Amino acid sequence: MSIRFDGRVALVTGAGSGLGKAHALMLAARGAKVVVNDLGGTVSGEGRSTSAADQVVTQIRSSGGEALANYDSVAEPAGARAMVAAAVEKFSRLDILVNNAGILRDKTFAKMEVADFRAVLEVHLMGSVLCTQAAWPIMKEHNYGRIVMTSSGAGLYGNFGQSNYGAAKMALVGLINVLKLEGARNGILINCVAPIAATRMTEALMPKHSLPHLKSEWVSAAVAYLASEACQVSGHVISAGAGYFARAQMMEAEGVWLDPHSPADPDAVAAAYDRISDLSNATAFGSAPEYIDKVLKRFATTATDA
Ligand code: NAI
């Protein structure tokens, strides 16, 4: 099997450097026409420049591919609409959206300015929401779409000093959990990567000896798969980096049943806490109704349900 994107059009946000650049190059090398979005700011989201996106477009074109630069911010509704419109205007369709643009404003929670919390949410969460919402009607019309969001171990598992970033990155998992249900009818599949790669955002934090292994291309391989027709899953989160690929999933313990007819008793919860938190027989749910059903099916249907 060879994954190709001939005839497909992709929009990759934040594609002027790091991971986004590698994603754009890989999609283009396999036949996609790519809109390379990047506002060309610093890691903390200051400033703007057209050169980052332009360089990637030049690189794609010089290898015989087709690409278009866009310099809008994903965090602005008009910007998100404009980059999607640019894809449709230039290439007549949009099949693939990779929500990758991101910034960092790290500080401990005690010292975190609300403005820095909001700025990070605006780019990672709202940027992904706005671009996805702009792309949605087009994908719906064609009954085809592949959307890849960019989460992070900082959100999935926590990272000191990144409350804003961790919250935004985990919010994307909540977003795909719902969009996988809403997109299914129209062939729109939505998945997430949680990357590990040495980029300008992370290089200084990674052990030096590991840097040669932490190439963005390893993450792009997962993104390209999730963006392809070969991918038939939706709602998956894939950790990817340095040749490591693994699905991450919210799990729920088997749990315990305390007597639902007697008054709620915090002492009983405390006494059962080891079993409540025991994940050894944990399971995953495909949706919230499935999860609620686990609880409610314990009770016999009564005449009032009819
Ligand atoms: P990077 O800083 O090299 O790339 C981010 C790109 O997004 C930059 O080119 C920047 O100009 C662009 N950007 C920022 N705000 C934008 C906006 N409002 N509109 C359009 N473009 C904007 O960093 P890297 O590492 O390549 O990050 C890519 C994504 O991967 C980010 O979402 C990041 O949070 C995520 N990530 C990266 C990890 C890593 O190990 N490198 C780990 C986990 C997540």
Hey, which of 17, 129, 201 would you mutate to test ligand 1's pocket, going by the most ligand atoms within 8 Å of its Cβ? 201
| pLDDT of amino acid 204 | 86
- Cα first-last separation, the chain: 51
Give the CA distances from residue 108 to residues 13, 117, 165, in Å, rounded to whole numbers and listed in that order.
Answer: 28, 11, 11
Same domain, yes or no: 105 and 142: yes
| pLDDT of amino acid 298 | 84
> Mean pLDDT across the stretch 41-70?
97
Q: Measuring from atom 3 of ligand 1, which residue has the nearest CA?
A: 18
- Say what percent of the chain tops pLDDT 70: 97
Among the options 71, 144, 165, 225, which is catalytic?
A: 165
Same domain, yes or no: 145 and 186: yes
Q: Measuring from atom 44 of ligand 1, which residue has the nearest CA?
A: 152
| pLDDT of amino acid 302 | 57
Alpha-carbon distance of 120 to 221, in angstroms, equals 26
Q: What is the mean pLDDT of the chain?
A: 96
Contacts of 296 (CB under 8 A, 6+ apart): none
| pLDDT of amino acid 205 | 87
In the chain, the number of structural domains is 2
| pLDDT of amino acid 1 | 56
Q: What is the 3-state secondary structure (H, E, C) of the chain?
A: CCCCCCCCEEEECCCCCHHHHHHHHHHHHCCCEEEEECCCCCCCCCCCCCHHHHHHHHHHHHCCCCEEEECCCCCCHHHHHHHHHHHHHHHCCCCEEEECCCCCCCECHHHCCHHHHHHHHHHHHHHHHHHHHHHHHHHHHHCCEEEEEECCHHHHCCCCCEHHHHHHHHHHHHHHHHHHHHHHHHCEEEEEEEECCCCCCCHHHCCHHHHHHCCHHHHHHHHHHHCCCCCCCCCCEEEEECCEEEEECCCECCCCCCCCCCCCCHHHHHHHHHHHCCCCCCECCCCHHHHHHHHHCCCCCCHHHC
- pLDDT tens-digit map of 228-263: 999 999 999 999 999 999 999 999 999 999 988 888
Distance 102 CA to ligand 1 centre (A): 4
- pLDDT tens-digit map of 176-195: 999 999 999 999 999 999 99
Burial of 69: CB neighbours in 10 Å, binned 0-12, 13-18, 19+: buried
Asked whether residue 224 is domain-assigned, the answer is yes
Nearest atom, ligand 1, residue 206 CA: 40
Alpha-carbon distance of 63 to 81, in angstroms, equals 28
Could you tell me which of 72, 198, 91 has the C-alpha nearest to residue 130?
A: 72
Confidence of residue 304 (pLDDT cuts 50, 70, 90): low
Same domain, yes or no: 83 and 155: yes
Asked whether residue 35 is domain-assigned, the answer is yes
Is the C-beta atom of 130 inside 6 A of ligand 1? no
Same domain, yes or no: 139 and 285: no
Q: Which residue has the higher pLDDT, 263 or 119?
A: 119
Confidence of residue 305 (pLDDT cuts 50, 70, 90): low
Nearest atom, ligand 1, residue 104 CA: 34
Is the C-beta atom of 52 inside 6 A of ligand 1? yes
> Mean pLDDT across the stretch 52-56?
98
Same domain, yes or no: 242 and 272: no
Nearest atom, ligand 1, residue 196 CA: 40
Same domain, yes or no: 274 and 218: no
User: What tokens appear for 110 in the block?
Assistant: 């005690």
Q: What are phi and psi of 160, to 5 degrees?
A: -50, 135
Same domain, yes or no: 242 and 301: no
Place of tokens 């779409």: 145
- Say what percent of the chain tops pLDDT 90: 92
> Mean pLDDT across the stretch 64-77?
98
> Mean pLDDT across the stretch 138-148?
98
Write out the residue range of the structural domain in which residue 270 sits.
266-305
Is the C-beta atom of 19 inside 6 A of ligand 1? yes
Catalytic status, residue 165: yes
Q: Judge whether residue 152 has pLDDT over 60.
A: yes
Is the C-beta atom of 79 inside 6 A of ligand 1? no
User: What region does 192 belong to: left with phi over 0, alpha with psi -120 to 50, or beta?
Assistant: beta
Nearest atom, ligand 1, residue 15 CA: 9
Confidence of residue 43 (pLDDT cuts 50, 70, 90): very high
Same domain, yes or no: 153 and 124: yes
